[in-house]
Amino acid sequence: MRQISQLFIKISAMGTLQQIHTWSLTHHPRWLVVIRVALGLCLFIKGISFMINSAAVEQYVQNSRLAAYDSWIAIGVTWAHLLGGFMIIIGLLTRWAVALQIPILLGALVFIANQQGIFASGSMFPMTVVIFLLLIFFLVEGGGPLSLDNYFRQHPK
């Protein structure tokens, strides 16, 4: 009985994912490509910023429980933003690239809110919230019709 319920859950989940994917392909306006590219550029530029000033990332992490891993987190976040931003720009494995960014942005929201405050002058909190919401949107929406995801789907060879 348990196997039947697991199979039913798997089938319904796959059906739901397929429905979301089908809806996404038919209702994706082309102007969303501009927003997807802008989101990718923001993440890519932030990755470059972290590469130039890795001490800033390490400083955010030092005041938390993750202080022992501050240099590893700085390197990981930097490369995740660079690679994920580039992949979002070109629309290659868009949902995977977005899914990689979501935990990073959640961590950033927590660190920014704890250290700088939500409404502090010069706080990056509102921008981080907007980027986080766009990541959630593109996790559901995908790369759209003008992406390498769509090209490889249409040309399997």
Query: 133 or 21: which carries more pLDDT confidence?
Result: 133
User: 22-43: per-residue pLDDT in tens?
Assistant: 666 666 677 889 999 999 999 9
Task: Of 29-38, 51-60, 80-89, 98-107, give the lowest mean pLDDT range.
Answer: 51-60
Structure tokens that stand for 153 in this block: 């789907």
Please enumerate in sequence order all residues whose Cβ is within 8 A of that of 47, keeping only pairs 6 or more positions apart, or say none. Answer: 78, 79, 80, 81, 82, 85
Mean pLDDT of the chain: 81
Q: Can you tell me the mean pLDDT for 149-157? A: 85
Query: 121 or 82: which carries more pLDDT confidence?
Result: 82
Contacts 24+ apart (CB under 8 A), 70-75: 74/50
Task: Of 63-77, 90-104, 143-157, give the lowest mean pLDDT range.
Answer: 63-77
- pLDDT computed for residue 99 by the predictor: 95
